[in-house]
Amino acid sequence: MTQAAIAGSPGAPRKERAGLRPGQRRFVWGALIPIFLYLGVFALFPMIWVVVLSFFSYSPVRVGD
């Protein structure tokens, strides 16, 4: 038998690519990017800001110095 006859036989399993199709991948990134931005702005930035302020003598009650 030739190689073409073996590859075209109905019993030969098809190799399917694992992973997402390009349209699905675009949807996933389109959903994840706003989520990461939201987390960065409303969760990580305030925590980082507090750590930075802890190195200075900052008091929200005290008026300008």
pLDDT band for position 20 (cuts 50, 70, 90): confident
1 located within any domain: no
pLDDT at 1 over 60: no
* Domain tally, the chain: 1
52 located within any domain: yes
**pTM, 2 dp:** 0.55
CB 28, CB 20: distance < 8 Å: yes
5 located within any domain: no
33 located within any domain: yes
63 located within any domain: no
Say how far apart CA 13 and CA 32 lie, in whole Å. 35
C-alpha dist (Å) from residue 4 to 1, 8, 10, 11, 17: 8, 6, 12, 13, 21
8 located within any domain: no
